[in-house]
């Protein structure tokens, strides 16, 4: 299973890892583009902090409560903070989630907290391995 298999999922559960290796699972909305998935979150959220420390994550399709509905997929995550990446994610979210996103976005604007985009891409193959022919 790859990230591409999750592109149609309304919700995914994102598992980030604390410094001690303990996983923290969070259900989130996602939008696909190219071979990656994108998530929008507050810059000060725990998941953003954990990704800043270590980009290894796992994801799976889930329901709104985070109950898994697929196999877990290893991925790598990075934070995108440019105005262009935030605007692109707003467009993707609005196209996918419509009014629900705009209501969520209105409340987010009231909080005046900065947001970031989490880019999720397929994990790098382990060192020493070769890609399948």
- Quick one: pLDDT at residue 127? 54
65-85 per-position pLDDT tens digit: 999 999 999 999 999 999 999
Number of domains composing the chain = 1
Predicted TM-score of the model (pTM): 0.85
CATH at residue 109: 2.30.110.10
Among 90, 17, 119, which Cα is nearest to 58's?
A: 17
Residue 53 lies in a domain: yes
Does residue 129 fall inside a structural domain? Answer: no
Share of the chain above pLDDT 90, in %: 71
CA–CA distance, 127 with 133 (Å, rounded to integer): 17
Distance of CA 118 to the CA centre of its chain: 5
Range with lowest mean pLDDT among 1-15, 52-66, 79-93, 118-132: 118-132
Domain containing 24: what range?
Answer: 3-122
For residues 12 and 36, what is the distance between their CA atoms, to the nearest angstrom?
13
Q: 127 in a domain, yes or no?
A: no
Q: Which two tokens stand for residue 125?
A: 């193959």
Residue 132 counted as domain residue:
no
Q: What is the pLDDT of residues 32-56, one digit of tens each?
A: 998 899 999 999 999 999 999 989 9
> Is residue 112 situated within a structural domain?
yes
Q: 106 or 125, which is more confident?
A: 106
């Amino acid at each position: 299973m790859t990230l591409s298999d999750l592109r149609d999922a309304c919700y995914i559960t994102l598992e980030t890892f604390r410094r001690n290796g303990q996983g923290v699972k969070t259900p989130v909305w996602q939008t696909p583009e190219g071979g990656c998935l994108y998530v929008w979150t507050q810059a000060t959220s725990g998941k953003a902090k954990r990704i800043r420390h270590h980009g290894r994550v796992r994801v799976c399709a889930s329901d709104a409560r985070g109950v898994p509905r697929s196999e877990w997929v290893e991925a790598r995550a990075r934070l995108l903070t440019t105005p262009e990446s935030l605007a692109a994610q707003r467009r993707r979210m609005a196209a996918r989630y419509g009014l629900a996103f705009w209501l969520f976005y209105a409340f987010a604007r009231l909080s005046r907290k900065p947001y970031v985009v989490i880019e999720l891409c397929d994990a790098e193959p382990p060192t020493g391995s070769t890609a399948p022919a």
